[in-house]
Chain A
């Protein structure tokens, strides 16, 4: 008998699922010294605030991907971060789909560009996987950043000066057109293997409305 293709749901994570999301995050952050490990209460707060996004494999109902998007109002920065994806499904490039899902959501519900807010991400100096994803999606390198070792979790890799080195990237307004074109023309509801299903669950807002909004935003520059 032929096995049915895998299917994955991309969605904003509700408070009730924060514990499972934390367990997933911890399972990856514990063994990766490039990831900023979050405490359970931090993940809970992201979920309580509706700032946590994830991927669940429908068959196992387990988390296989996670990230957050947090608007720092005083700094005028909307940061997408904490991208973690299960190694088991890495070949499906779930991370690129998740970041696109989140970008489309926050750009259309918050209109950061109309409010002078930058959309940014940070990546550890030696963490190539998310760096490649960000470049592919149109993020541009902005600057090097260095976090003093005393302010960073003990698990994170330091440089010779005991700082945690990284890069800041920005998703500029000029990149929104590419995101819209991908959602409109390339995204068929399947992942890159052409079989596995990717269900972008925007609730009542709907993918079609999100696309309409993105098309308009990308045409405004």
Chain B
């Protein structure tokens, strides 16, 4: 589950890095996908960018879009969140792995 989630986030991060700023349709799709991939409500997403919730709705359906000069910082902000999520999954995975190694030793010892 975590592994597939991490792959999904990594794939999205790679896609975000290749976006063409001037392509309105690509940007609109990126916003719509960001809401899903980050598992954020439109309000949380809007708050994180200091814009209004209706603004995010309009961006995601392409009715109004931000100026090209603002698209890079918006994408960077999303990427930073994606990377934080990847780090959190990695950290949780490494903690689980160490839990397993500590827990398994006494059980194995008891069996002898």
Contact = CB atoms under 8 A, between A and B. Distances in A.
Contacts of B68: 213, 216
Interface residues of A, number: 30
A14 interface: yes
Contact of A110 (B43, B48, B64): B64
Contacts of B49: 203-205
A108 B69 contact: yes
B24 to A, nearest CB: 10
A113 B46 CA distance: 22
Contacts of A213: 66-70
Nearest to B59: A109
Given A14-B47, A204-B74, A204-B77, A50 B52 contact: yes
Contacts of B88: none
A201 interface: yes
Given A50-B55, A209-B69, A209-B70, A111 B50 contact: no
The winner among A49, A109, A210, A217 for most chain B CB atoms within 10 A is A109
A42 to B, nearest CB: 15
A109 B53 contact: no
Interface residues of B, number: 25
A111 B62 CA distance: 12
A210 B67 CA distance: 9
A48 B69 contact: no
Contacts of A216: 67-69
A115 B64 contact: yes
A213 B66 CA distance: 9
B14 interface: no
B84 to A, nearest CB: 14
A177 to B, nearest CB: 15
A212 B69 contact: yes
The 10 tightest CB contacts between A and B, nearest first, are A50-B52, A203-B50, A213-B67, A212-B69, A213-B69, A204-B77, A110-B64, A108-B67, A109-B66, A51-B52
8 contacts: A12-B50, A12-B51, A50-B47, A50-B53, A109-B55, A111-B66, A111-B67, A210-B69
